[in-house]
């Protein structure tokens, strides 16, 4: 079975358990195939954890789920040094961060010290315990869920950490028909379907090599640059209202991630080249957590999604 047939089978297996989240599965695969971390945001009960758990079972990878709580300590995440009486010496006890896929469940319920402990692992793919640094196994991917910050008992994530997430995906409510299907499926107390393992480390490595062969024209590369710069200096692009509202634009990581994510979209659509539609489709997920608006925007009820939508409409290709 070739790689694209296996990917189609992944979507089929996901659909047997998770209803109405094909777009979310698409975004999780983008993260998996590029090594980019993904942050999911939505109110409780939208199947964020179920979706990630199901995907982890479909992958032949080491998986750990970490429930983030206000009393979680950095050592609970990365590990610590413990004294071994028999050896009369200290030894390393590795934490749950040593896995291929980490589900950081309700990541914004843990305090800043724990959030900071993730930074080295997410960016450098290594963890330091005591005086030693330990390389994490490949692939290494953090899939985090987050409740909106206005929910009680949550902490906003540090900007440096948020920027290390390749994508931030907002999850909304299902349609009436989809929710009816969920109710009918989950009301069956005997429902206990176990998804098949489909993708291995070797499959993921092969898919990444195939994605590297996806081509993107210089015109579209420059289009990506223009989009990113429009988030930083909207006034230079005739976006006067947006210039009033944007405090900080997207970082250089956004440029790299938008390029990579567009290539994966093309690959998943069984093309070997990127179209402008690929860039426009994935841009909101790449940019929404990297644009910081000021208090004037908040007062006027302006959101980052509205700013991104305007930029995508007003910045022309081949400008």
Map out the domains of the chain with their CATH numbers: 3-204 (3.40.50.300), 213-314 (1.10.8.80)
Residue 205: strand, helix, or coil: helix
Pick the more confident residue, 42 or 236.
Answer: 236
pLDDT digits over 92-125, tens only?
888 899 999 999 988 888 888 888 888 888 888 8
Reply yes or no on whether the pLDDT at 165 is more than 90. yes
Rounded CA separation 280/309 (Å) = 9
Q: Is 27 in contact with 285 (CB distance < 8 Å)?
A: yes
pLDDT digits over 259-310, tens only?
999 999 999 999 999 999 999 999 999 999 999 999 999 999 999 999 999 9
Is residue 149 classed exposed, middle or buried when 0-12, 13-18 and 19+ CB atoms within 10 A define those classes? exposed
Q: What is the model's pTM? A: 0.90
Rg (CA), the chain: 21
- List, in sequence order, every residue forming a beta bridge with 104; answer none if it has no partner: 66, 144
Q: What is the pLDDT of residue 289?
A: 94
């Amino acid at each position: 079975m070739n790689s694209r047939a296996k990917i189609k089978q992944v979507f089929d297996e996901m659909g047997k358990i998770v209803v109405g989240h094909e777009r979310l599965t698409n975004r999780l695969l983008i993260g998996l195939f590029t090594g980019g971390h993904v942050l999911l945001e939505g109110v409780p009960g939208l199947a964020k954890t179920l979706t990630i758990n199901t995907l982890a079972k479909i992958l032949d990878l080491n998986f750990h789920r970490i429930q983030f709580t206000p009393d979680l300590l950095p050592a609970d995440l990365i590990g610590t040094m413990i004294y071994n009486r028999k050896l009369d010496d200290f030894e390393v006890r590795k934490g749950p961060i040593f896995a291929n896929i980490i589900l950081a469940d309700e990541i914004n319920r843990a305090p800043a010290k724990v959030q900071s402990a993730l930074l080295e692992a997410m960016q450098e793919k290594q963890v330091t315990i005591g005086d030693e640094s330990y390389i994490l196994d490949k692939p290494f991917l953090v899939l985090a869920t987050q409740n909106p910050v206005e929910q009680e008992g949550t902490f906003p994530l540090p900007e440096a950490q948020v920027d290390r997430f390749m994508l931030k995906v907002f999850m909304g409510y299902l349609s009436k028909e989809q929710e009816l299907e969920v109710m009918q499926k989950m009301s069956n107390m005997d429902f206990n379907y176990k998804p098949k393992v489909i993708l291995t480390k070797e499959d993921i490595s092969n898919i990444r090599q195939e994605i590297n062969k996806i081509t993107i024209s210089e015109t579209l590369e420059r289009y990506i640059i223009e989009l990113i710069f429009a988030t930083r200096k909207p006034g230079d692009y005739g976006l006067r209202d947006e210039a009033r509202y944007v405090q900080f634009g997207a970082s250089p990581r956004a440029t790299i991630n938008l390029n990579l994510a567009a290539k994966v979209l093309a690959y998943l659509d069984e093309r070997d080249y990127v179209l402008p539609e690929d860039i426009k489709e994935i841009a909101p997920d790449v940019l929404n957590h990297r644009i910081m608006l000021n208090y004037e925007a908040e007062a006027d009820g302006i959101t980052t999604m509205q700013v991104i939508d305007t930029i995508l409409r007003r910045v022309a290709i081949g400008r």
